[in-house]
Chain A
């Protein structure tokens, strides 16, 4: 038996910045001297692009389509900081079964003992959006990831997706599945956005791992096909990601979240709607005053 591998799954609504956040965590952990694998579980197969100068890599399922027997090594590519990059891949939109694709891809790597063979310290699964079917829950089931982190913004739909994921975690928590490490608050721009996320985590009995501000540095780095850690290592934003990675490094105890029921979520949302109207109108006045 080799050393224990810390396995982490990062979930969140589509477009919320999961892959950006995940790739920066991977890069920062690699800079700390860890051997990291980032495993993209999204049919779009673009999780690891910014670790590899914006390039796409052949996915496990692409290889499986070409030949029935896949040597898992053929699906592993190294990126920034020697992070091992793997994309599960999946069917074209509207056909087949993306969930089964994740099951097949994860099973293939596990059966070939790849994680032990590469002597990894971290495996980070970057998983598409909401938990949409059984296949997408594979990384949080027993024996795969131990910790889940959810990326969310203060946007209501993102929080709705996070709350749904908490339900998935709660469901598998009794059967030895992954537990929730905390929430990564992304695209933080205004103080009230922190308050919304803080309020949500308090109600669902979890914590915020890091507040990641919205930053043009991230966009610039992404457009050059790189993580912020690689493209702008001296930026404040890179420090934010490095701090997040260190917190994940130090994190040991995850727990079962307490998701809100649909009614609770709705009631919670409407209290914030009222509060936001007040805040928004205040800000509008302030901006005008500055003209």
Chain B
């Protein structure tokens, strides 16, 4: 059983920890079946387009901590894309009630030829001190790069020394790009760093028992706060991790009653660490997208909090409020077809949403697949839940943002709508004249209300398709006719 080892500075990458794959073509049910019997092997590609880098996903998790700053220890180019998280922080701040989002500050040690030869440790130490002098942050995260990893700079040692000198956490995040081609490995690196350096053991009461406060850890990205409305009925409040958290809220996340995840593949490592090392139980239920998953999730939460009647009350009330509109939407959307592209866990939830709304999900291109989750919580696996609740999904493609495959598949299937969670993916639908919906707020579709919101958004996009129709008429597809006629998975090979 995989477990969290906080004594080791670097987290094991997903390929090793979970046998994660980035290539597969088949049906969702095949993937579920093969995942749990050890029969799932990676299928490599003989041609691929660009991939993301772990340093970027690690930066994503730590840049959004409100009172921290980030230093990229590497050549300056490794941090050239990180400003996107400053944008993310600013535009999503209103969803979390952060009125005046402060500017995100990301520094680079700018390793040069000379540093590569003579070592960059001293430069890193100097940078940490200089940056501390400039900003007095509550925490400094140092994210590593391929360059610092290869020359073997003692990043952990430098950070520990600076931590002692400055009296604030200075946290090394080991996220060298060459170690993994699974994009989520970088998230794990960020969470591992948070768990081993920022989360403190819970305080103890007079009887020596750990203090538990009425908060629930929500491990998530930057979606809207749909949780408070539910949580207040249980008498608890959400403690969001890591975007918009502070050093203090992260430190005391060990005093929460339970941890939930907006997405299992994102959150299971940290919720597992919170359970194993700090005694906060993880909620083993797939996230609340679609009616069956929502009911199960609320009931699991009610059970965990010892208030099952509150869960039943919420379910009953939400059902009464939203069911009529859901029924209308099902009628309006009946017969529509859709294709999904998203990260693994959230993609599974979007498929559930579509099926719940009566839309025919014709396939998905998801960026990776974990055959098992950290701590092997099968009940938390959203793909298992989706297939069990709604049946199989054809054209199920695991591809780490291989856009050439996406375009090929879309061109064949020509669904009525493309659903995407990541910026840059919807344009391929639009160019083919397919109404495309990008919803970056991953909490948007949660619960009964989320079904209504998502259904209305889809309806609006499908009914207003003039823009994409025109765009398709005037746009040039960069892929050749030859490629569009090949089977979409021509370059996917069975690994030896």
Sample of 18 A–B contacts (CB below 8 Å): A70-B16, A99-B150, A99-B152, A100-B150, A110-B8, A111-B5, A111-B10, A111-B12, A113-B5, A133-B152, A134-B153, A142-B157, A143-B7, A143-B9, A174-B161, A175-B154, A175-B157, A176-B157
Number of A-B residue pairs at CB separation under 8 A: 59
Q: A68-B15, A69-B15, A176-B160 are in contact. Are A138 and B152 (CB under 8 A)?
A: yes
| Inter-subunit contact B16/A69 (CB<8 Å) | yes
Q: A110-B8, A134-B152 are in contact. Are A69 and B157 (CB under 8 A)?
A: no
Residues of A within 8 A of B10 (CB): 107, 111
Contact residues of A between 129 and 151, Cβ < 8 Å to B: 133-138, 141-143
| Inter-subunit contact B5/A103 (CB<8 Å) | no
Residues of A within 8 A of B161 (CB): 174-175
Q: How far is the CA of A98 from the CA of B5 in the complex (A)?
A: 26
A32 interface residue per 8 A CB criterion: no
| Inter-subunit contact A141/B157 (CB<8 Å) | yes
B214 interface residue per 8 A CB criterion: no
A: contact size bracket: 20 to 34
Residues of B within 8 A of A135 (CB): 152
Contact residues of B between 1 and 25, Cβ < 8 Å to A: 5, 7-12, 15-16, 19
Closest to A138 in B: B152
Q: How far is the CA of A88 from the CA of B161 in the complex (A)?
A: 28
Q: A111-B10, A142-B160, A175-B158 are in contact. Are A69 and B152 (CB under 8 A)?
A: no
| Smallest CB separation, A283 vs chain B (Å) | 44
Main secondary structure of the interface of B (DSSP, over half): loop
Q: How far is the CA of A111 from the CA of B9 in the complex (A)?
A: 9
| Inter-subunit contact B154/A137 (CB<8 Å) | yes
A172 interface residue per 8 A CB criterion: yes
| Smallest CB separation, A23 vs chain B (Å) | 26
Besides A99-B150, A100-B149, A134-B152, 8 other A-B contacts (C-beta < 8 A): A68-B15, A99-B152, A107-B8, A111-B5, A111-B12, A134-B119, A134-B151, A142-B160
Q: Which 4 A-B pairs have the closest CB atoms?
A: A134-B152, A175-B157, A135-B152, A111-B12
Q: 1/0 per position for A84-114, CB-CB distance to B under 8 A?
A: 0000000000000101100100010011010
B-side interface residues, number (CB < 8 Å): 23
Residues of A within 8 A of B7 (CB): 143
A259 interface residue per 8 A CB criterion: no
B67 interface residue per 8 A CB criterion: no
Closest to A69 in B: B16
Q: How far is the CA of A154 from the CA of B153 in the complex (A)?
A: 32
| Inter-subunit contact A175/B160 (CB<8 Å) | yes
| Inter-subunit contact B8/A133 (CB<8 Å) | no
Closest to A142 in B: B157
A177 interface residue per 8 A CB criterion: yes
Q: How far is the CA of A174 from the CA of B154 in the complex (A)?
A: 12
| Smallest CB separation, B3 vs chain A (Å) | 8
Question: In the complex, which of the residues B10, B11, B157, B161 has the most CB atoms of chain A within 10 Å of its own CB atom?
Answer: B157
| Inter-subunit contact A141/B154 (CB<8 Å) | yes
The one of B8, B19, B157 that contacts A111, using a Cβ cutoff of 8 Å: B8
Q: 1/0 per position for A145-176, CB-CB distance to B under 8 A?
A: 00000000000000000000000000010111
B156 interface residue per 8 A CB criterion: yes
| Inter-subunit contact B157/A172 (CB<8 Å) | yes
Residues of B within 8 A of A99 (CB): 150-152
Q: How far is the CA of A138 from the CA of B160 in the complex (A)?
A: 15
Q: How far is the CA of A143 from the CA of B6 in the complex (A)?
A: 12
Q: 1/0 per position for A55-70, CB-CB distance to B under 8 A?
A: 0000000000000111
Residues of A within 8 A of B156 (CB): 141-143
| Smallest CB separation, A129 vs chain B (Å) | 16
Q: How far is the CA of A175 from the CA of B16 in the complex (A)?
A: 30
| Inter-subunit contact A69/B160 (CB<8 Å) | no
Q: A111-B10, A172-B157 are in contact. Are A100 and B152 (CB under 8 A)?
A: yes
Residues of B within 8 A of A103 (CB): 149, 152
| Smallest CB separation, A135 vs chain B (Å) | 4
Residues of A within 8 A of B160 (CB): 142, 175-176
